[in-house]
Amino acid sequence: MTSFAGSAASARSVRPADTLTRDALAVLQPGFTGTTAPDWLLRRLGEGLTSVGLFGRNVADPAQLAALTARLRAEQEDLLVAIDEEGGDVTRLEVRGGSSFPGNHALGAVDDPALTRAVARELGRRLADCGINLNWAPSADVNSDPANPVIGVRSFGADPHLVARHTTAYVEGLQSAGVAACTKHFPGHGDTAVDSHHDLPRVTVGLDTLRTRELVPFRAAVAAGTRAVMSAHILLPALDPDRPATLSPAALHGLLRAPVAEGGLGFDGLIVTDGMEMRAVSAAYGLERGSVLALAAGADALCVGGGLAGEDTVLRLRDALVRAVRDGELPESRLADAAARVRALAHRTRSAGAGEGAAPAPGIGLTAARRALRRTAEGPYEPLTAPAYVAAFTPLANIAVGDETPWGVAAELARLLPGTEAATRTADSAAAAGPAALVDGLLAVAGDRRVVAVVRDVHRHPWMADALHALLAARPGTAVVEMGVPQAPPRGALHLATHGAARVCAQAAAEALTGRRIPTAEG
């Protein structure tokens, strides 16, 4: 086992056990289950835990969330309450209803940084009002690989400079509301065809490409003052042939932290890891060993709340970090520095709750979704005036998005055209029936009603493309709504690209299909 401390003397000079334990707890960002704070979590906050990660399972409504965060801060006033709220497809605040904000790809399609800044500010205001002061967003990944299974619409786009200007705007908007931004996934997860939740992606580009493509948005985020950066569990052999970025001193200390004059990004804020339980790290190194390596490489905070939620995980990692210091595997000064950085950001953002005076802009999300909509018609298309039949071709959701959040246009279309019905078809149903039989079954139920086909990243799913081809051959008048990355050529009598599957994107599509506005409080 490699030693990071270098001598037995350093191991003997460590600080008292209570100080080490508090530092080890301070660098953890754990999760928990339920919508109220469990006793074990409150107890650990009193012992030094300085961060808590929230997920959809912890959120019922804004009032409950505000009460939860207030209860946590009653135990630890300087506390980072973090959440993975990107808007768009990845939402925790509105996990069961769909987001009121379009995601990055829609904002990139509009390409109005002022709009992106306004959306991020309103999102930050809502987070701050709920007592959340650290958002694991924005994604600054350049969508270099159209087959990417985990980034896609979470990216502003494929142009590094477009991504950079919107990352800047997002960071500025979010932090103007008093919520720290955590720009991710450093040094860039966009050029991967593997989901790091399941396996270790490998990015084989050279350092020159990395610097002129992937790193461009991260440089912009650092210049904009992002309070935190999240590392990616990806292997870049040109940077480090052995360890993924989260565990790589070359990536974190030598690239992200190094001064600009020495070729680095000069970042001096908080470095947060992506989920340490993700298999890209945990399968090869184990949870405890991976966490020690991440701290030693330069990470300051260990995110470990998504897949593992409970006291056992906190105790395992606390003890592993203390043991690593005592055994000389992790420099005691490195753990102390990481803990100090966490505490400093927690203190700096302790006032979250007033939104820093941000004026409410409740309609900004729907405004942005309407502007992001792109319409392509093969000829004149008569708006829908009677109940329609929606055929949703549904891919398997990735872990970042989750399968709790509804998507598609059927619910919003039914608000305008009551009686509209929908059917969902998946890769399994397509494989069992074959495209022709699957479409025959759909049309038998649809009858004389006009059909709307809803797809998501059709370019990545051959079964979906085949089913859509069969449907359009049988019903050329079908409208198609693409709610993923619109990489495939537009098809259908009317083709709508929403650039994401947020609820407001569905509202914008339903309005375009009918030529009518949906009455909402958001405008």
Helices (H) and strands (E) in the chain, counts: 20, 14
Q: Which sequence positions are flagged as catalytic? A: 197, 274
Tokens standing for 74?
């009653």
Give φ, ψ of 184 to 5 degrees: -140, 165
Q: What is the DSSP letter of 257?
A: I
Tokens standing for 285?
């190194």
Helix axis angle, 311-326 to 39-47, nearest 10° = 30
Tokens standing for 295?
């701290």
Q: What is the Cα–Cα distance from 127 to 355, expressed in whole angstroms?
A: 8
DSSP bridge partners of 235: 202
Contact 311, 44 (CB under 8 A): yes
Q: What is the largest CA-CA distance in the chain?
A: 82
Q: What is the Cα–Cα distance from 22 to 187, expressed in whole angstroms?
A: 30
Distances (CA, A) of 309 to 129, 305, 430: 25, 5, 36
Q: What is the Cα–Cα distance from 41 to 47, expressed in whole angstroms?
A: 10
Q: What is the Cα–Cα distance from 442 to 393, expressed in whole angstroms?
A: 11
